[in-house]
Amino acid sequence: MRHLSVGLLLVAVLFGSFLVFAQQQNPAAPPAPPPATAQGQEKPQQSGATFITHVNLVDVLFTVLDRRNKLVPTLEKQDFKLFDDNIPQDVRYFSKQSDLPLRIGMLLDTSNSIRDRLKFEQDAANNFLFSVLRPKKDEAFLMTFDDEPQVLQGFTNDTGALRDRILRTRAGGGTAVYDAIYDACENQLSHPPRPPGDQPDVVRRVMILISDGEDNLSTRTRSEAIEMAQRTSVVIYSISTSTQWVTLDDPNKEQSGNRKYHLTEGDQVLKSLAEETGGRAFFPYHVDDLDQSFQDISEELRNQYSLAYDPTNHAFDGRYHKIRIETPEHKGFQVRARRGYYARANQDAAAQPAAAVK
């Protein structure tokens, strides 16, 4: 019995040693790979991984006026109906935006055709800036255009510096309105100075265009200028320098009731530029006629609504889409917003996969 016990003990020791040796030669298998994501791609494990996706959100800024052209700032998301090419859309984001910093592009026509109205332009531009620009919050730049656009003063909140530049402008040469709008949107208003704070990208981009609207030198077309303004969310307010549309029944009386209105071809261009981008066109006779208009613009820019949606009918085809916003429960209200947008073309989508449609 003693010899049997010793034998069994020896077998047990040898078998245990064999198991330890086997484990050392065959370590545990590594953990199974993580499951695939919904897109069928392996989920990245390293920190800071980047996910790339197409974002087709269309952003729209707009204002609402009542029957007496007074601002209506108290509506809610459910008060609006949105259509993209007449197809109803769901609003994903909605907000009321008030008192946002303004980034203003002041564009002055200094071509030979406005020589007699240059003083009017200078006074109108300065009156607007001193009425609207708030120190330490808003900024503006000055661009003139005749044969070609030229930035005379970059973004600043110094109204004195802007005024001095404006008063030194001189008239001469042809007119390249569309080139100026395109250049101002692409190179200035597309990346304006960022304000400090928690939301540095939230600013209102505005263009004040003072001109007779008679373009004869641009390499860009009107549609290209409007498209660039829409892509960069720039609202254009145009002020006509023309007085050809004004005739007086009595030359000694200049009351508005005695004026007859007939917009010139250039004035129609200014009106189109403003309406397509959600702004307004003004046709003053005197600079003083603009005082109330500037106050209205200032109040309007600081009390707007914002919405964003992902079009159900979207395609990367570069096509123009019409936008319509309605207030079905408020029949007398009017919504002022840009009238549409250009979808990105296929090559644009490939180059900028995460860019929002503007």
Asked which of 119-133, 225-239, 306-320 is least confident by mean pLDDT, the reply is 306-320
The residue-averaged pLDDT of 111-132 equals 95
Q: Where are the beta strands (DSSP E) in the chain?
A: 58-65, 81-84, 87-89, 91-98, 102-109, 139-145, 149-156, 204-211, 234-240, 246-248, 259-261, 281-282, 303-309, 320-326, 334-337, 340-342
Q: What is the mean pLDDT of residues 114-123?
A: 95
User: What is the homologous superfamily of the domain 102-301 according to CATH?
Assistant: von Willebrand factor, type A domain (3.40.50.410)
Average pLDDT, integer, range 95-105: 92
Q: What is the pLDDT of residue 209?
A: 97
Percent of all residues in the chain with a pLDDT value above 90, rounded to a whole number:
61
Q: How far apart are CA 231 and CA 137, in angstroms?
A: 24
Q: Give me the residue label for tokens 């050392």.
A: 24
**Mean pLDDT, rounded, for 264-293:** 92
Q: 207-216, 250-259, 303-312 — which is least confidently predicted?
A: 250-259
pLDDT at 18: 44
Residue 307: pLDDT over 80: yes
pLDDT of residue 158: 96
Portions of the chain given CATH number 3.40.50.410: 102-301
Q: Where are the alpha helices (DSSP H) in 31-117?
A: none
Interatomic CA distance for residues 24 and 107, integer angstroms = 80
Radius of gyration of the chain (CA): 32
Residue 44 contacts by C-beta under 8 Å, 6 or more apart in sequence? none
- The pTM of this model reads 0.79
Report the pLDDT averaged over residues 19-33: 44
The pLDDT of 139-168, averaged and rounded, is 97
Tell me the mean pLDDT in the region 230-234.
93
Instruction: Determine the number of helices (DSSP H) and then strands (DSSP E) in the chain.
Output: 8, 16
**142-146, 290-294, 351-355 — which is least confidently predicted?**
351-355
Q: What is the pLDDT of residue 49?
A: 56
Rounded CA separation 156/139 (Å): 5
So what's the pLDDT on residue 248? 54
Average pLDDT over residues 17-37: 42
pLDDT of residue 191: 94
* pLDDT confidence tier of residue 170, bands split at 50, 70 and 90: very high
Percentage of the residues of the chain whose pLDDT score is greater than 70: 75
List, in sequence order, every residue forming a beta bridge with 139; answer none if it has no partner: 103
